[in-house]
Each structure stands twice: as C-alpha cells, then as structure tokens.
Amino acid sequence: MRVYRSLEEVALLPQDVPRAVAIGTFDGVHVGHQRIIGMAVDMAHSMQGVPTVVTFEPHPGAVLRPNSKPTILTPLGVKVRLLERYGVEEVVAVPFTVEFATLEPAEFCLRLLSERLGARQVSVGANFRFGRGGRGTAIDLLSLGRDQGFSVSAIQLIKSQGDAVSSTRIRRLVAEGDVEDAARLLGRPHLLAGQVVAGVGRGRTLGMPTANLRPPEDAAVPGQGVYVTRTHTAQWPSQDSVTSIGTNPTFESDDVVHIETFLLDFYGTLYDAPLEIEFLARLRGQQAFATKELLVEQMHRDVEEARRILADAREAASDEDRPRLW
C-alpha cells in the first residue's frame, strides 16, 4: 500500500499503466463506500491498472463548517488499513483547505484526476459533490471526464430499512449507543482508537482494573453506557473486554466522560500503549448505585453477560476480519 499526503508526492506511472480511482471522503468506509471502492478495484484489474482511492484530510466538514464539524468514524490510519483490506493499492490523502475548496469543478478534475493521477476510470457515489460550493455533480463529472479522458461510474446509494446508508447516519447511531445497528451499516464493529492514560485506579480497588482510553478529540465516541467489546494492542492478541463510557456517577459529580475498559482474563500493563476497541453490543445505560457493593455486583453481572455474547460472536467472526492500528 502506498500512501501519499499530497498530489505532489504521487508517483507517475508508465503510460500503459492506468489508474482506476474511487474518490470521496469515505469516513467509516461503510458498506456503501465499499461498493464504490469495489468498482474501482474491479475496473483496475480489468485494465491491468492500479486501484487508487482519493480522499481528503482533514474531513471537509471540519474546514467548511468548523462550528459544527463532524466526529470521525475512521481516522486516516484506520481508513488506510481498511482500504488495503478491500484491495486498494494507493491512497492519496489530499490536504483539504479553504483554498482547495474554491477550485471550480473543471479545475478540480484537471488537477486531481487528469494531470497528476492520469485517471482512466473514476468511481463516485451518485450524491458526490465537488468543486467550489459543491457545484459539481456526478453528471458534471461524467461530462468533464469525456473532455479529460476518463470514464465515470456513479454508484447508487445503498438503502437499509428504507434510509440511505451514510456516515452521518452511522455517527448518529454511534452517539446513541446503538453500536449493533452501526456495525450492520459499517459491515464490521465500530472501532475506537486512542492512547491508554493513567486513571485514578478505582477499578483495581473494585477488583476490575481498567485501561483508560484517550481518543482523539474528534473521535466518534459511543453514547454513555456499558458495552461488550474486543480490545487490541500491539503487544497482546485480541482480548475480550467490557467497556464503560460515562461520568462515573456513583463516585463523581464533575460530568467528565471517561472511557474505561476491563480486559477479561488479562494480566499485564497497558499504560501509554496504543489501543483499539471494537464495540459489539450495548449491555445497559449508565447508572448511579447507592453503594460501592451494589456497583460491584452489577459489574460482575455485566462481565458474565459479556462472556456469553462474546462466545456467540466468536463463532461468526475471526481475528483476521478486522483492521489493525499496527
């Protein structure tokens, strides 16, 4: 996999080696995105060319709407690993700036697709917009492609339960804690990545030491509650786990949200390690307990229920089916 962080870095291919390009933000790389990407991969193979994805970093919404910027389902590193899994050989992460957003549609195509990439075929979603003010549509891209030497495939949106599959819809599901529906639209469990940081050590005194995760500020964090999860680190294999996201209302009153993961049957130290957590199911919402003892009883019930759910899930999935952070 080759990853370019600007158009200037992109390697020029021999004239007889074409590129088939999928272009989009692709946050989440959900089942709809996978269809667009799959088209580019198939076209590249039929032309004996290179399947390439053009995406944008940071998310265009963070630049164009800074006061209401979206949370991020898949940071670039996770997105790249997913794209490689789906057969992509090159990723061009175009820096999205205010200046870039002012390009007219024709100039956008000329700079990105024709001059530097030498695209022979381009795949987009039917709702794709590009150029200044989002003026360019998939129909405009088709017309520009005729002039600039590439064909265009506009892929219709996938619908699930009557509504289009979209990153916005998945973000809403994640924020509501509906990680099972989010997984259905993503085609895999939602993944949250971050760094393990020191906590107050309360979990250890309760008999369940936890790893405290600090994700990026713009990460799509599931809503408050207790979840069945799988946790992955560079040093240890996949670990069954239970993750609590909340303000610890039994002990705290500062409304600070903590992400705490208890790894089942794990003995080791994770401080300062990169960690990724896959969310499989929601066990319950956040609760305040009258005593510490009542909380511990509920934590043990959560663990037993998580073991049951994980045992069932293990029959349907294997460790090879998920992207890694390393």
The residues that bridge with 163 in the sheet, in sequence order, are 160
- Can you list the alpha helix ranges (DSSP code H) found in the chain? 31-47, 60-64, 76-85, 105-109, 138-148, 167-175, 179-186, 202-205, 292-314
Query: Of 165, 168, 157, 105, which Cα lies nearest the Cα of 126?
Result: 157
- What's the pLDDT band for 12 if we cut at 50, 70, 90? confident
Same domain, 211 and 304: yes
* Residue 9 and residue 155 in one domain: yes
Residue 220 or 310, more confident: 220
Three-class SS of residue 34?
helix
Residues 134 and 202 in one domain: no
Distance CA 217, CA 299 (A): 28
* Residue at a domain's end among 160, 194, 209: 160
DSSP symbols for 141-174: HHHHHHHHT-EEEEEPPPEETTEE--HHHHHHHH
Query: b/e string for 305-325 if b means 16 or more Cβ within 10 A?
Result: bbeeebeebeeeeeeeebbeb
Quick check: 247 and 256 in contact, CB under 8 A?
yes
10 Å CB burial of residue 179 (0-12, 13-18, 19+) is buried
Radius of gyration of the chain from its Cα atoms, rounded to whole angstroms? 22
Using H for helix, E for strand and C for coil, what is the string for 198-248?
CCCCHHHHCCCCCEEEECCCCECCCCCEEEEEEEECCCCCCEEEEEEEECC
Domain containing 199 equals: 176-321
Residues 152 and 203 both lie in one domain: no
- Residues 11 and 150 both lie in one domain: yes
Q: What is the CATH number of the domain that holds 61?
A: 3.40.50.620
Residue 167 located in a structural domain: no
Q: Mean pLDDT across the stretch 165-188? A: 97
- Domain assignment of residue 171, yes or no: no
75, HSE (Cβ side, Cα atoms, 13 Å)? 15
Express each pLDDT in 297-326 by its tens digit. Answer: 999 999 999 999 998 877 766 554 554 443
Per-residue pLDDT, 325:
42
Closest CA to 53 of 97, 11, 4, 13: 4
Gap between the Cα atoms of 238 and 241, Å rounded:
9
Which of 113, 136, 160 lies at the terminal end of a domain, its last residue?
A: 160
Neighbours of 116 (CB within 10 A): 19
166 domain residue, yes or no? no
Q: Please indicate, yes or no, whether residues 297 and 184 belong to a single structural domain of this protein.
A: yes
Q: Quick one: what percent of the chain has pLDDT higher than 70?
A: 94
Residue, of 288 and 105, whose pLDDT is higher: 105
Mean of all residue pLDDT scores within the chain: 91
In a domain, 155, yes or no: yes
Q: Are residues 229 and 134 in the same domain?
A: no
In this structure, what CATH number is given to the domain that contains residue 279? 2.40.30.30
Q: What is the pLDDT of residues 75-131, one digit of tens each?
A: 999 999 999 999 999 999 999 999 999 999 999 999 999 998 999 999 999 999 999
Whether 195 and 249 share a structural domain: yes
- Of 207-211, 238-242, 322-326, which range is least confident? 322-326
Q: Are residues 155 and 202 in the same domain?
A: no
The predicted pLDDT at position 29 comes to 98
Query: Of the given ranges (34-38, 183-187, 203-207, 255-259), which has the lowest mean pLDDT?
Result: 203-207
pLDDT at residue 144 is higher than 60 = yes
Last residue of a domain, one of 125, 160, 195: 160
Provide the pLDDT confidence category of residue 50 given band limits of 50, 70 and 90: very high
| Residue of 283, 280, 281, 277 whose CA lies nearest to 261 | 277
Query: Is residue 270 domain-resident?
Result: yes
How many separate helices (H) and strands (E) can be counted in the chain?
Answer: 9, 14
Tell whether 41 and 112 lie within a shared domain.
yes
Please tell me the predicted confidence (pLDDT) of residue 201: 65
214 and 115 housed in the same domain:
no
Structural domains counted in the chain: 2
Task: Find, among 225, 195, 197, the residue nearest to 302 by Cα.
Answer: 225
Does position 275 have pLDDT exceeding 90, yes or no?
Answer: yes
pLDDT of residue 270: 81
Which three-class secondary structure state does DSSP give residue 93? strand
Terminal C-alpha separation, the chain? 14
Q: What helix, strand, coil percent values describe the chain, rounded to 5?
A: 35, 25, 40
> Is 301 a member of any domain?
yes
Residue 28 pLDDT greater than 80, yes or no? yes
Say whether both 11 and 137 belong to one domain.
Answer: yes
In a domain, 81, yes or no: yes
Q: Is residue 227 part of a domain?
A: yes
